């Protein structure tokens, strides 16, 4: 386990951030979600107040549903222009790694971040962090990286610099990573942070509208199709899952980010404690796992699908065909029968 930033270290970094405008690159994991984009743009708007030259650069785009975030149009995606991205990383004085703590999560950017001269600051809440950064603000119990960015700003004694723009970004990541305040990591302390964010005048209802009332017609039809035709329940294992083929993605013209949340419908079936979404992506088959209670979704993902994540929300991948991946998934469930179907517990 890595330590959180020590007090001396914080002062050193705080001095650097407060006194000298410098080149900063803020990176996130690939296919950034609401927490990755919210935390990086929140930090961007905060650090701008110190006149740094800052680039937010995730490996690629996580989806249009996050384009409403303030200054999203200034974000550069590394994979759109790797040469430019490499230059930015090599010329950076400071690189932030937000919402990831393993370099495998940033694709080809990983090797460049590992070797470049910049001071590296990792702020994250995923398990098993790698020691690639100079400073870490890491807490696996934090509900979101946005919450940790709030703490980072608090540690710099700068919460008065959190305006409605910073707050909009941080609120977005908190809402998405807590399932709108439903998941167990949602604490009274987190609600107090959210109250502070709301006091900036940030329009929380607009964020909610953009996140949850902004579906394309195709996406809703795709959702209906998946729920009617693709959702499978295995009552004896209290498991539900959805398999989506490449043809189906094309048929409904589903774009990156538009399958976000689909796995939660499988989990919402009464009595289900483990849910999976298996999608045939261009290169690999991608799996998303969600669980309720004491089923270790991250252990399951790591053991069978080279993945990982949080205890109740994890993911992995497979190089097999979608049919073989589904069979492997079903076989893997047998190994967890002791948790999935203890006597008298099937649906």
Residues that bind Mn ion (CB under 5 A): 35, 99, 145, 177
> What is the Cβ-side half-sphere exposure of residue 203, based on CA atoms within 13 angstroms?
9
Contact characters 119-158, ligand 5GP, x per CB under 6 A:
-------x--------------------------------
The residue within the footprint of ligand 5GP, chosen from 95, 316, 326, 333 (CB under 6 A), is 316
The DSSP call for residue 79 is G
Burial track 113-137 (b if 16+ CB lie within 10 A, e otherwise): beebebbbbbbbbbbebbeebbbbb
Residue 316 interface partner, choices ligand 5GP, Mn ion, none, CB cut-off 5-8 Å depending on type: ligand 5GP
- Between 322-335 and 297-305, two packed helices, what is the crossing angle to 10 degrees? 130
- Of the candidates 92, 31, 89, 26, the one whose C-alpha atom is nearest the C-alpha of residue 65 is 31
Closest to Mn ion by CB, 63 vs 82, is: 63
How far apart are CB 306 and ligand 5GP at their closest, in Å? Answer: 7
- Cα-based angle 96, 106, 8 (whole degrees, multiple of 5): 25
CA distance 347 to 335: 19
How far apart are CB 57 and Mn ion at their closest, in Å? Answer: 18
| Contact call for residue 308 and ligand 5GP (CB under 6 A) | yes
Closest to ligand 5GP by CB, 127 vs 198, is: 127
How far apart are CB 126 and ligand 5GP at their closest, in Å? Answer: 5
| Contact call for residue 315 and ligand 5GP (CB under 6 A) | yes
CA distance 192 to 69: 22
- Of the candidates 228, 223, 201, the one whose C-alpha atom is nearest the C-alpha of residue 212 is 223
- Contact assessment for residue 274 and residue 297, using Cβ atoms and an 8 Å cutoff: yes
Q: Which element (helix H / strand E) includes 175?
A: helix 164-177
Closest to ligand 5GP by CB, 45 vs 310, is: 310
The residue within the footprint of ligand 5GP, chosen from 39, 55, 288, 318 (CB under 6 A), is 288
Closest to Mn ion by CB, 99 vs 326, is: 99
Closest to ligand 5GP by CB, 46 vs 61, is: 61
- From the list 113-121, 149-157, 223-231, 309-317, the region that binds ligand 5GP by CB under 6 A is 309-317
- From the list 62-70, 90-98, 203-211, 313-321, the region that binds ligand 5GP by CB under 6 A is 313-321
- Of the candidates 222, 249, 200, 260, the one whose C-alpha atom is nearest the C-alpha of residue 66 is 260
Q: What number of chain residues touch ligand 5GP (CB under 6 A)? A: 11
- Cα-based angle 218, 222, 223 (whole degrees, multiple of 5): 120
Residues β-bridged to residue 28 = 98
- From the list 47-55, 242-250, 311-319, 334-342, the region that binds ligand 5GP by CB under 6 A is 311-319
CA distance 317 to 340: 22
Q: Which residues bind ligand 5GP (CB under 6 A)?
A: 126, 288, 307-310, 313-317
């Amino acid at each position: 386990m890595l330590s959180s930033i020590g007090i001396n270290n914080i002062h050193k970094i705080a001095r650097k951030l407060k006194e000298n405008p410098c080149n900063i690159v803020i990176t996130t994991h690939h296919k950034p979600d609401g927490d990755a984009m919210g935390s990086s743009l929140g930090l961007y708007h905060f650090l701008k107040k110190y006149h740094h030259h800052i680039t937010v650069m995730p490996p690629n785009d996580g989806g249009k549903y996050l384009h409403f975030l303030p200054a999203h149009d200034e974000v550069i995606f590394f994979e759109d222009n790797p040469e430019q991205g490499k230059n930015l990383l090599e010329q950076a004085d400071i690189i932030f790694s937000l919402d990831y703590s393993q370099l495998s999560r940033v694709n080809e950017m990983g090797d460049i971040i590992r070797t470049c001269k910049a001071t590296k600051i990792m702020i994250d809440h995923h398990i098993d962090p790698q020691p690639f950064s100079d400073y870490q603000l890491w807490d696996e119990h934090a509900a979101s990286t946005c919450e940790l960015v709030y703490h980072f700003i608090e540690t710099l004694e700068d919460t008065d610099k959190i305006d409605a723009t910073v707050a909009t970004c941080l609120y977005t990541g908190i809402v998405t990573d807590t399932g709108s305040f439903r998941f167990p990591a949602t604490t009274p302390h987190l609600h107090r942070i959210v109250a502070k964010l709301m006091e900036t005048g940030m329009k929380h209802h607009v964020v909610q509208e953009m996140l949850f009332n902004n579906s394309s017609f195709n996406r809703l039809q795709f959702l209906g199709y998946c729920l009617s035709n693709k959702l499978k329940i295995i009552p004896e294992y209290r498991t539900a899952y959805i398999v989506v083929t490449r043809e189906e993605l094309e048929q409904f013209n589903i774009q990156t980010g538009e399958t976000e949340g689909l796995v939660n419908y499988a989990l919402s079936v009464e009595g289900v404690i483990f849910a999976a979404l298996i999608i045939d992506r261009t290169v690999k088959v991608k799996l998303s796992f969600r669980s309720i209670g004491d089923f270790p979704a991250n252990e399951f993902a790591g053991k069978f699908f080279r993945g990982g994540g949080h205890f109740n929300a994890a993911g992995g991948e497979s190089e097999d065909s979608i049919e073989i991946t589904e069979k492997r998934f079903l076989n893997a469930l047998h190994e967890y029968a002791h948790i999935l179907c203890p006597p008298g517990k099937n649906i």
